[in-house]
Copies of this chain bind each other. A is one copy, B any other.
């Protein structure tokens, strides 16, 4: 998940200076500074680039705006195959040069691994078709039933672009690559395999070829029960949200991939004692041994007290020791 954000006063100051959310990820100095802010406050084990998954469709020619209180909104959501054909397949080093520059700057400064990322084809398609976040993502689901071949064409094109974008991030300095599938939960398992995982598998194959040895993490929201299917795409770690119990997911993965997650970010609104209890429950759910990357199960809420995140991180460091040594 994004580590920086409005819950940090220093982020809000930087955001005011930048003038817009888009400048925060498009101006390498701002993206670099936003990435570093959480690292200065917290003893984190890795850094994730400050950016946005929708920078990719933007680079493909879709006008994107970030509206106060509404989040990202495309000026003209994709409607048909003619509009799909009009999308460009950008050279990431050119169209997303700001991403690559931010990664290079960060790599020189950081003492922890640097994570680059992109949205999965299915999740990007959801936003490009719906035009914005949604309580039902009716448009992509409709296209699936009405014109599956158009959806497949879009997903295929996105797969090429996402793979190229991630490979470029690896060349620019990213040491781990992550794919965010925040719309995974809108599909039935069969459709998830057909419209999401088949494209994810292509991207993984392509990255294993061109960037051998680089770990791949896929976060899939709403994927309870499907962890082994995701791992089978060639993924090194599967990230899950707070509704996927880690113990069952670990059994299903059977050592094929590590597991990342999954504290409910709303747990950070509890007392320090409640946070410790929730962290302990997450660690106990995974159980003893290695292969667990502790993380929130979704993005941190903007009204979170930064001190509560410190309590969580401190609890993880203290309480996880006994799980590693067992």
Choose from B145, B270, B274 the contact partner of A274 (Cβ within 8 Å): B145
Give the distance to chain B from A209, nearest Cβ to Cβ, in Å: 33
Residues in B with CB closer than 8 Å to A267 are: 145
Query: Any chain B CB within 8 A of the CB of A322?
Result: no
Question: Looking at chain A, what size class is its interface with the partner chain?
Answer: 20 to 34
Interface flags for A136-154 (1: CB within 8 Å of B; 0: not) read: 0010011011100000000
Give the distance to chain B from A70, nearest Cβ to Cβ, in Å: 11
Instruction: Evaluate contact between A243 and B185: CB separation under 8 angstroms.
Output: yes
Query: Any chain B CB within 8 A of the CB of A256?
Result: no
Query: Any chain B CB within 8 A of the CB of A306?
Result: no
With A135-B133, A138-B301 as given contacts, are A271 and B146 in contact (CB-CB < 8 Å)? yes
- Quick one: copies of this chain in the complex? 2
The winner among A134, A243, A270, A278 for most chain B CB atoms within 10 A is A243
A186 to B222: give the CA distance in the assembly, Å.
10
Instruction: Evaluate contact between B138 and A135: CB separation under 8 angstroms.
Output: no
With A224-B225, A264-B188, A301-B138 as given contacts, are A146 and B269 in contact (CB-CB < 8 Å)? yes
User: Which residues of chain A from 263 to 285 have any CB-CB distance to chain B below 8 Å in the complex?
Assistant: 264, 266-271, 274, 278
Instruction: Evaluate contact between B222 and A270: CB separation under 8 angstroms.
Output: no
A134 to B301: give the CA distance in the assembly, Å.
14
Query: Any chain B CB within 8 A of the CB of A291?
Result: no
